Amino acid sequence: MSESAVLTPCHSSHTIYLKDYQVPTYFIDEIDLTIDLFEEETYVKSHMRIRHNRLSSNPARDLVLYGEELTLESINVDGKSLTASQYELTPHTLVLRNVPDKFELEIVTKIYPQKNTALSGLYRSAGTYCTQCEAEGFRRITYYIDQPDILSRFITIISADEKRYPILLSNGNLLGQGKLENGRHWVKWEDPFKKPSYLFALVAGDFDLIEDTFTTQSDREINLRIYVEKGYADQAHHAMYSVKEAMRWDEKAYGREYDLDVYMIVAIGDFNMGAMENKGLNIFNTKYVLAKPETATDDDYIHILSVVGHEYFHNWSGNRVTCRDWFQLSLKEGLTIFRDQSFTEDVLSKGVMRIRDVTALRETQFPEDAGPLAHPVRPESYMEINNFYTSTVYNKGAEVLRMLQTILGPNLFRKGMDLYFARHDGQAVTIEDYVETMEDVSGIDLQQFRLWYSQAGTPVVTISDDYDAKEKIYTLTISQSCPETPGQTKKLPFYIPIKIALLNEQGEEMPLHFNNEPVSNEKVIALKESSQIFRFRQVESRPIPSLLRNFSAPIKLNYAYSDKQLEFLFKHDKDPFNRFEAGQIYAVRMLLKLADDYRRNSSLEVPDAFIAMYAHVLENDRQDPFLLSEMLYLPSEKYIGEQMQVIDVDAIHAAREFALRAIAEKLEVLLLKTYKEYHNATGNYYFSIDEVGKRQLKNRCLSYLTLLPKYTELAYQQFQTALNKNMTDTQPALAALVNTAEAELRGRVLNEFYITWKHDALVVDKWLAIQAASKQPNALQEVKKLMRHEAFDIKNPNKVYSLIGTFGQRNPVHFHAANGEGYAFLREVVHQLDKLNPQVSARMVKPLTTWRRYDKERQILMRKQLELLMQDTNLSKDLYELVSKSLSEV
């Protein structure tokens, strides 16, 4: 018996709703997998022990299993083979009628991993077998109930050609291995912990291996293994350092200890995600494992630390306690993002990492909340779950957890986390279960706080103040509102914790006398109503308020700071984020005025006070060069655009470029002095937070200086010195030369860089991205040429993200060219990608989905490209959902 199923067009897709959730009718307690890997096909035998769920209200005794692109070879129940009349096979399901309450089911399927360009399920790429099963990839391996609330114990036997695939890995602990006929071999893995199928993993290939050990707080020795492509073992040591730091931190911060004998990471070059937390066998995109000074920047090192930490922390927040259904995705992802952000703050820099996390939130999640794809942290519906691995679910979800920690305080929050892990270990649970746990330990009613999970949109908080000098009372009047979002026109007030301090004229924090609470220099006030008044007593002089310290809530804050107040906070606030934020508010105000002047053909001028503000910190704030580097960053064109009713890409670009050059001209001497002070002429590299800060500040200064033609040679010297030994210095020098140098020098340095590093795929990705982000007028033509270059492969997600993603997301002035060529180009690429890898095509189309934010001419051009995509009746579910929602009336 041999039957096959093929995917149907997405237009028959249906919407799945949270309200329709039902407990499973059947549980799969155990599954034994035998996977035989051959070059032309792979055979998968699954042996499952299944029982009826007594709590199910479904009267039917039908077992519905999901499967895609599978060839069914055989089925038997309790050892008896089924005939075709005893089951129903559709393109997406296998239905067994009237099954017993308890039985064993064995299914044999045939699949073709080498043809799997979607990189979901089991696929073979560059001679390596690999899996990606989250969210619904397991159904591309065998028929199964691949819902996260089906927790099973997995035993996996893998066989393959020993010469080609000497390393065979799966979840858990190794039970046995041996030789077979015809040069084949086998291994057997057992995961003692029940898990959902999205955490299943398999890898087969030939790798280099580095090993280490970690001794846990209970004196267990854990074997740590990182597998990388042959020849790249020397680039895995920072990842190993990151694993050990993450294990150490999780024991200290949350009391969480690793639970298996071995922890494995495998780095894969063709991978849709950043990484995947499969139990005991994490699979990573090479981008987040491989690093050495010659090939990786400081930011790469930081990202590796963060992502390795994230996937390791999932062992408890996601694996041991998982989500009941995909609507609860933020339960594992938002929580784990919060944990990895806290980790990098502790290991690196609390101030800088907070600034970077908030910047990412405001450049990605805030626009998402304001657009046609807006959805709550816990969505209410979806067509394709892959589309909800979003900044809202991840990053805003993390901010919700941070607010909860702020409201409860760190001690109660930790007690709540301990209880959550103890109460729900081995379970698939909901966001409601998590919040109830926090209520139980704190005694705080969090009913209103739950709105953060169910209401979409970014709240807008407006603050006005008054000071009564006679009574020495300082009053804040605070109101909140939230814009309409798709499907949600009326919003209830959120529970918003606002952390504040009051500064006197010397920049000192004033003691806060608020209600009958203990006196302190910083307070968290709870905004719960549409409008509230907060009074502080015994305030000796009119203060300057430091509001929303450390970005205590994911909101937009309106307070009428004067320019002088912003200068004062930029220089004196002790909260690192608020120092940075004061500069950003001032800069946005200035840049919006410059953009308006540009539209009116008025002369442009950067205020002397703004220049003096930058000069002050350059001269007086050298104790933290990492923070200083962030403070000298002008808001991105993308962020500036989000402050406009109608985004004017040309005016924004002109304004920001003018401001950058004005800063360079007026602070030239100071920037050059700072550059020389922190520049290491040898080009040698060492990763430490002090050295990172020095390099970041030095290269920030270089980015300004190279806007002046006389400093082209300075950038070229840095490029030449660092090319073979320090990518942190090489990359910004190359980017500066690509943006500012004459064509001959641009071509020369690009060619030299490529010739030097063409053997290293991740470095080539940097080469592609630099050109895709170029300010040169021929940027789109260069991107089109690079698509035909030997270095580009449209089947490789990293290459697509580097070239196409960078152009669409990080080069607004050229992507949004008035002739619409950028839009047409992206539509063509997205359409091509959709036939190969729907997840990647859906990610790439997003710049077009924001079409309503632009002028009428650009709206017409962008909408046209989306409508052209909709003419294809065979769009994937992934792409169809995003395009159709972006075109629908809000």
**Catalytically annotated residues:** 311
Return the CA Rg of the chain. Answer: 28
Show Cβ contacts of residue 61 under 8 Å, excluding neighbours closer than 6 positions. Answer: 52, 97, 98, 99
CA distance 774 to 771: 5
Question: At 138, which amino acid appears?
Answer: F
Least Cα distance to 805 among 754, 842, 837, 835 occurs for 842
DSSP secondary structure string for all residues of 39-68: SS-EEEEEEEEEEE-TT-------EEEE-S
Could you tell me where the DSSP H helices lie in 231-328?
237-254, 298-313
CA distance 296 to 235: 9
Residue with tokens 């703050």: 345
Determine the 3-state secondary structure of 250 from DSSP.
helix
- Provide the token pair at 234: 């020397």
Burial (Cβ within 10 Å: 0-12, 13-18, ≥19) of residue 607: middle
CA distance 749 to 720: 9
Question: At 253, which amino acid appears?
Answer: A
- Provide the token pair at 573: 């606030």
Q: 520-557: buried (b, 16+ CB within 10 Å) or exposed (e) per residue?
A: eeebbbebeeeeeebebeebeeebbbbbbbbbbbbbbb
Could you tell me where the DSSP H helices lie in 680-742?
689-705, 712-722, 727-740
CA distance 142 to 121: 9
- Provide the token pair at 364: 């990605």
Question: At 735, which amino acid appears?
Answer: A
**Phi and psi dihedrals of 783, rounded to 5?**
-65, -40
CA distance 207 to 162: 13
Is the preceding peptide bond at 422 cis, omega within 30 degrees of 0?
no
Determine the 3-state secondary structure of 166 from DSSP.
coil
Pairing mode of beta strands 167-170, 202-205: antiparallel
Residue with tokens 């909901």: 430
Residue with tokens 């784990």: 336
CA distance 403 to 109: 48
Determine the 3-state secondary structure of 386 from DSSP.
helix
CA distance 757 to 235: 15
CA distance 393 to 90: 32
Burial (Cβ within 10 Å: 0-12, 13-18, ≥19) of residue 346: middle
C-beta separation of 187 from 157 below 8 A: yes
Neighbours of 884 (CB within 10 A): 18
Residue with tokens 């001959």: 744
Q: How far is CA 642 from the centre of its chain?
A: 20
Burial (Cβ within 10 Å: 0-12, 13-18, ≥19) of residue 674: buried
- Provide the token pair at 620: 């007086």
CA distance 871 to 365: 29
> What H or E segment, with its residue span, contains residue 527?
strand 523-527
> What H or E segment, with its residue span, contains residue 828?
helix 821-834
CA distance 47 to 108: 9
